[in-house]
Amino acid sequence: MSEPVDELARVARDAADGDPLAAAALVRATQADVWRLCAHLGDRQSADDLTQETYLRAFGSLHRFAGRSTVRTWLLSIARRTCADAIRSRRRRRLVLVGDDELLERTDGADRTGEGAAVDDLLARLHPDRREAFVLTQLMGLPYAEAAEVAGVPVGTIRSRVARARGDLVDALADEQADEQADDGRAGGARAR
């Protein structure tokens, strides 16, 4: 008796064979996860473009998908590389435009006003490796083994990065609360005068 075939793997195989309905079904089934990863590893403003680029790359190599991992893991790995390529490309463009590493470091991440939510701001402060591990496991709900496959690192490394990310987030929240209390104290002192 043969093993049951993963439905998403069957859809991917049909899409690789040229079935446009299967290709659309594959995108529908995976797009939310791919977009969320792109939004957290890249940024929300470019998440749509990064997601589209991910699917362009995926469909270009779908015929080579060997099934050594799940289709979802394979797609998220492509999304991760797409985001990394986009970040490297942006840095190269800035380096050419700015020409001064010190100026580049000062402008990196300075425009956070458009991002909105405090969670996005906190995640953006994390080291990229820690943010990636945290997003994959805590926000997207991937098991540690699958997140390790996506990131291309051992499971222990993912566990370590998630633990460090949690610690960084706790520290960042404590710092923000201390700053707010200090601001409140200064404002209260000014009113008393």
CATH number for the domain that contains residue 120:
1.10.10.10
- Whole-model pTM? 0.62
Same domain for 34 and 86? yes
Q: What is the pLDDT of residues 152-172, one digit of tens each?
A: 999 999 999 999 998 888 888
Single out the residue in 42, 77, 99 at which a domain terminates.
99
Question: What is the C-alpha separation between 99 and 91, in angstroms, rounded?
Answer: 11
The domain of 141 spans: 113-192
- Residue 150 domain-assigned (yes or no): yes
Q: pLDDT tens digits, residue range 1-50?
A: 344 458 999 999 999 999 999 999 999 999 999 999 999 888 788 899 99
Do 36 and 70 share a domain, yes or no? yes
Instruction: Please check whether residues 24 and 55 belong to one and the same domain.
Output: yes
**Are residues 80 and 170 located together in one domain of the fold?**
no
Cα 66 to its chain centre, rounded Å, is 24
| 152 within some domain | yes
104-131: pLDDT as tens digits: 344 444 443 443 356 777 888 889 899 9
| Same domain, yes or no: 8 and 62 | yes
On whether residue 107 sits in a domain, the answer given is no
Which of 91, 90, 164 shows the shortest CA–CA distance to 125?
164
The answer to the question of residue 23 being in a domain is yes
* pLDDT of the residue at 192: 56
Position 136 pLDDT exceeds 70: yes
Query: Same structural domain for residues 87 and 121?
Result: no
Q: Is the same domain home to 136 and 82?
A: no
Assess if residue 108 is contained within a domain: no
In a domain, 22, yes or no: yes
The verdict on 125 and 154 lying in the same domain is yes
Write the CATH number for 77.
1.10.1740.10
Number of domains in the chain: 2
Per-residue model confidence as pLDDT tens digits over 62-108: 999 888 899 999 999 999 999 988 887 776 665 444 444 444 344 44
Of 120, 112, 57, residue with least CA distance to 84: 57
Average pLDDT value for the chain:
81
Asked whether residue 105 is domain-assigned, the answer is no
The Cα–Cα gap between 70 and 6 comes to: 8
